Amino acid sequence: MKPCGKKTGARLLCALMLCLLSLPFMMTSAGAAPAEQEQIKVTFYTDAYWYRPGDKARLSVTLENKSQQTIENVSIRLRLHSPNSSRAGLDAVLEGKPRKSYRYTETLKRGISLKPGKSNFKFDLDSSKVRVWDGVFPLSVEALEEGSVADSFTSTLVIMSDQNPQSTVPLKLSLVFDMLEPPHRAPDGDFSDNGLADECYPGGRNPGWYTTIADEMEKYKNLRTTFSLSPLVVEEMRDMADGYVVKKGQREEKFGANSTEAKNAESILNRYKKMAQDPRFQFLQTPYASPDLEKLVAYGWSDDARGQISRGTRSLEAALGTKLGTDYFYPPGLNCDSRVIKTLGGKLGQFLILSPELLERNRDGKKLLRGLTLGSPVEIEGAKESKVIALFADGRAEELVRRLEQSGDEHFVAQAFLSELTNLYLERPSKLRTCALVWPGWWRPSHRVVQEIMKALSGAPWLQSATMGESLFTVPVIQDFVLEIPENGSPMDAYFKQVKKARGKYVSYTNLVFRDNPLLPPVLHNLDISESDVWRQWDRTESGLRFAHAITDTVDSELGKIKIPAMSSITLTSADADIPLPVANETGYRVKATLQLDSNGLTFPKGQTQKVVLEPKENMLEIPVHVTKKGRIRFFARLESDGTVLAKTEMSVLTSRFNTFAIVLVGGILGLIVAGWGIKLISRRRLGKHKKRNIKKAEQE
């Protein structure tokens, strides 16, 4: 390597000095990099959810300075965009990217010195300054820093003319609350948490979910709503009211009937019982543990489906203190194909609410999704007698919930709901139509969000709330059209393969015991819960499998209590005899079983297969046998129930070593001996008589 010259060394020294001098600036730049992130956040809401043309809208705007320093020269600009031309137009608003087509632009305030934290501003928007008409207009508020957009927030401005009750054809809005949720009890029957008590909490800033809904229903008297309560959860509430135990690991916490938690559960039940008597509210039939009926029927478990429907109806009617209308049915997950309707028949009633995804299964269903939103009931194929009419839930409303579920901005959420339904109404404002808006059980926003949604929906004259029954009877069914809903056709997944195994155990157990067996109800209860669709909807399949495994463990444990003690050998001394077979039944109740017998030297006069009843104690079964082979042979006995082996034994049997000739010979010899004894006995009797006679004669002489 060549040594550096003077010029080269000078250049290196200069370069080194430049690096050292620029280091502070580089460090400052690196430290300032995070400051390039968003420093200003803007939100706003209006003082009403809709306005008439020419009205003034009051805007409440909040600018949040997230930095630690005052930001100078901030401006607030408003932009009113062109109205949505379809329901899909709201998607861009929800994404914060509305079309850059402006109806009106105004700078509301300039030169703001924005201090750290939140600053609130009030502005008026006079809609008379711009030509507007009935529609949903995206509305953006932007925070400008040195003339550039630092942040923006987009919502909507709903403009609707005065509604003339005589000429307006309002959209029938059926708001259906699906109250499904996972059970709060463990497979052993104890409560595993106190979450249900929280949901029944009556007051404060964060009331429980059931309290929140009841409060809003009582507040807005013009709202008519429909409910699908979970019979399983309602049953848990009833049990809580009598006192209950929460068990977490080895720790138990007892709540008596006089506890606050128990009284809250009883109070909320009474509130819903009162609602059930009010014609503003409709409560629908639904299966006990909310199983997917399509799966149960497809797997050949139709009896399970019928049983769950019956148990669900009984449970709800007992809790609500009233008879439910059997004509209306809520299939869990809103899944119900034509095969289910045909198989379950009258169990489902005549009127259903179904998922819009079912329309995607065939060409006829897809036709109903083309163009404008389906707003009419549809007749469904599969019914054997009376017609089955379905109201399909609104698919876009379902997607709207998924988009908004994480938002805590109550005004934005409520405005979005009203905007979506207004767009739906404006598709065909002069035609009588209906919309079933299903509120999914997994979406449980804050009380403030629910409150604002109810406020927005109840205050719109072009929306008329109606129960499911009112919508079905008011809006005409599509004429000359019957929709077939094909089966889904998906194979049994890993979850239900485990449930199938547990169900097989339960079926075997029912064949083993009598109907009054005390374990049948809890085992069936766990089977119902393992079949529930709640585990899929709430993404908790592992929790659901706990109930399936509990069935298997319980049945296996009970079957293990039936035993045949080991026996080494037995000796038979005749050709026909009884073999004593001890069986121990340690279950504590009677059981039915099948006794299977086999041997290489014995036959069984009563058959090789025999039905037996085992008492809850030591049982001694007498097995009649006939010997066909002499010497040492094998005897096999097996207790079964529905193909399940309960107990079995194998023993050695020793039979006497004699043959037919020996029997005849011994019999002949015994006969001769008996004959000889007989001759001697007769001779002795005769001799005795002669002696007596001679003695008598001698005495006479």
For the chain, the maximum distance between any two Cα atoms, rounded to a whole number of angstroms, is 186
Residues 558-562, mean pLDDT to the nearest whole number: 95
CATH for 171-483 (3.40.50.300, 3.20.110.20, 3.40.1350.10, 1.10.1740.10) = 3.20.110.20
CA distance 442 to 231: 16
CA distance 193 to 472: 40
CA distance 168 to 433: 12
Closest CA to 289 of 544, 50, 47, 511: 544
CATH 3.40.640.10 describes domain 40-159: no
* H helix count then E strand count, the chain: 19, 28
Per-position DSSP letters for 655-701, written without gaps between them: E----HHHHHHHHHHHHHHHHHHHHHHHHHHHHHHHHHHHHHHHHH-
Q: Is the pLDDT of residue 650 over 90?
A: yes
Domains of the chain by residue range = 1-37, 40-159, 171-483, 497-559, 562-655
Pairing, β 71-81 against β 135-145: antiparallel
Closest CA to 232 of 276, 287, 294: 287
How would residue 667 be classed by pLDDT, with cut points 50, 70 and 90?
low
Place of tokens 């229903």: 217
Residue 164's pLDDT is: 66
SS (H, E, C) 588-611: CCCEEEEEEEEECCEECCCCCEEE
Residues 555-559, mean pLDDT to the nearest whole number: 95
* Identity at 114, one-letter amino acid code: L
pLDDT in tens, 204-258: 778 999 999 999 999 999 999 999 999 999 999 999 999 999 998 889 999 999 9
Residue 354's pLDDT is: 98
Residues 278-289, mean pLDDT to the nearest whole number: 97
Residues 190/246, Cβ–Cβ less than 8 Å = yes
pLDDT in tens, 216-231: 999 999 999 999 999 9
How many CA atoms lie less than 13 Å away from 433 in the CB half-sphere?
Answer: 21
Evaluate whether 171-483 and 562-655 have a shared fold: no
Cβ-Cβ contacts under 8 Å for 641 (sequence gap 6 or more): 508, 511, 512, 559, 591, 592, 593, 594
pLDDT in tens, 7-30: 444 454 444 444 444 444 343 333
Total-model pTM: 0.85
Helix 541-559 / helix 494-512 crossing angle, nearest 10 deg? 30
Residues 619/583, Cβ–Cβ less than 8 Å = yes
Q: Is the dihedral of CA 96, 98, 100, 103 positive or negative?
A: negative
Which spans in 221-362 are helix H? 231-241, 260-276, 293-298, 302-320, 338-344
pLDDT in tens, 73-126: 999 999 999 999 999 999 999 999 998 889 999 999 999 999 999 999 999 999
Four-point Cα dihedral 618, 624, 628, 631, nearest 10: 30
Four-point Cα dihedral 507, 512, 514, 518, nearest 10: -70
Q: Which residues pair with 238 in a beta bridge?
A: none
- The CATH fold assigned to 562-655 is Immunoglobulin-like (2.60.40)
Residue 205's pLDDT is: 79
Residue 206's pLDDT is: 85
pLDDT in tens, 568-605: 889 999 999 999 999 999 999 999 999 999 999 999 99
DSSP run (H or E) holding 649: strand 644-655
Residues 599-616, mean pLDDT to the nearest whole number: 95
Instruction: Report the percent of the chain where pLDDT is more than 90.
Output: 81
